[in-house]
Amino acid sequence: MPVTGFDFKDKYDIGDLLAIMRILRSEDGCPWDKVQTHESIRMDLIEETYEACEAIDKGDSAHLREELGDVLLQVVFHSVIEEEQGRFTFGDTVNDLCHKLVSRHPHVFGDVKADTVGEALSSWNDRKQEEHGQETYTDTLNGVSSAFPALMRAQKVGKRAARAGLDFRTAEDALASLESEIAEVRSADSEHEAEEMGDMLFAAVNAVRLKGYNAEELLTRATEKFIGRFAAVEDMIRCEGKDMRSLDIDTLDTYWEKAKTTHGGNQT
């Protein structure tokens, strides 16, 4: 039975979204929505954000419009849960964000001079460090969220360390460090192998960063390329009436080399 007193509209706004969420969370609301907690819907926030990013990557505005709505739903959902506990409201979140934007843009709303992108970023970071009470460079490294994907976190930590002057002189130095870490993996015993592999991955991220790329994006592209070539291999084998699992690795490598020439991309 429809909830009483709800105003059906052709055009809703953010106030309506909040009202709908409060209804869904009410005693007479949705059995699923009203029992959710921050913890139970935590992954939904992450997944919806990634789906919005996918829409951006594909240049799909219609999909992006939908996915941004799903991200906003998660923001409102978490805000209403907090509102129910009397801790803060969605309005408090918006207010805090507005204050943050004004505070971190003194070159727009104040008398700080910043004529370049680099100067603007420096101004932003200085204000951010001050607001978070980060008194040391180590504080800024610890300020990188541990919930980030590992590649993203490693790159941000490396970038912040570089602000303190602790970095490789050149990208070539970073690549040399990566080669050194690979050698250490090869020579490591079983007790230290995992640790050395972790160092190797961190060194790879530093090399990517110094080359001016984003490690998370590059690995995503590499994974997509692998899937495409895998599909090409499977198609060739299926066309010959065979099953991949019935072939040995040397035979599969032969098909893989063919796929590299037919599927495009770097032939490595």
Residue owning tokens 């990634």: 50
Coil, helix or strand at residue 98: helix
Question: Which residues 6+ apart lie within 8 Å of 29 measured at CB?
Answer: 3, 23
* Residue 242 · residue 252 · CB < 8 Å: no
Over the range 94-127, which residues count as b (16 or more CB within 10 Å of their CB) and which as e? eeeeeeeeeebbbbeeeeeebeeeeebeebbeeb
CATH number at residue 31: 1.10.287.1080
For residue 6, the 8-state DSSP code is: -
Structure confidence at residue 184 (pLDDT): 97
Structure confidence at residue 267 (pLDDT): 45
Could you tell me if residue 249 is inside a domain? yes
- The number of folded domains in the chain is 2
- Of 168, 179, 4, 17, the closest CA to residue 90 belongs to 17
pLDDT over threshold 50, residue 107: yes
Q: At 187, phi and psi to the nearest 5?
A: -100, -5
Share of the chain above pLDDT 90, in %: 83
Final residue before a domain boundary, out of 94, 111, 144: 94
- Of 10, 8, 97, the closest CA to residue 19 belongs to 8
pLDDT over threshold 60, residue 118: yes
Token pair, residue 247, equals 């072939």
* Residue 185 · residue 200 · CB < 8 Å: yes
pLDDT average, residue stretch 29-34 = 95
pLDDT tens-digit profile of 135-183? 898 999 998 999 889 999 999 999 999 989 999 999 999 999 999 999 9
pLDDT tens-digit profile of 123-133? 888 888 888 88
Max CA separation in the chain (angstroms): 72
> Domain range holding 45?
14-94
pLDDT tens-digit profile of 36-56? 999 999 999 999 999 999 999
Final residue before a domain boundary, out of 94, 109, 134: 94
Could you tell me if residue 32 is inside a domain? yes
Structure confidence at residue 75 (pLDDT): 98
Could you tell me if residue 58 is inside a domain? yes
Q: What is the mean pLDDT of the chain?
A: 93
Token pair, residue 163, equals 């602000």
Cα–Cα distance list, 95 to 15, 22, 71, 88, 100 (Å): 15, 20, 19, 11, 9
Could you tell me if residue 138 is inside a domain? no
Could you tell me if residue 71 is inside a domain? yes
Final residue before a domain boundary, out of 94, 126, 144: 94
Coil, helix or strand at residue 55: helix
Could you tell me if residue 238 is inside a domain? yes
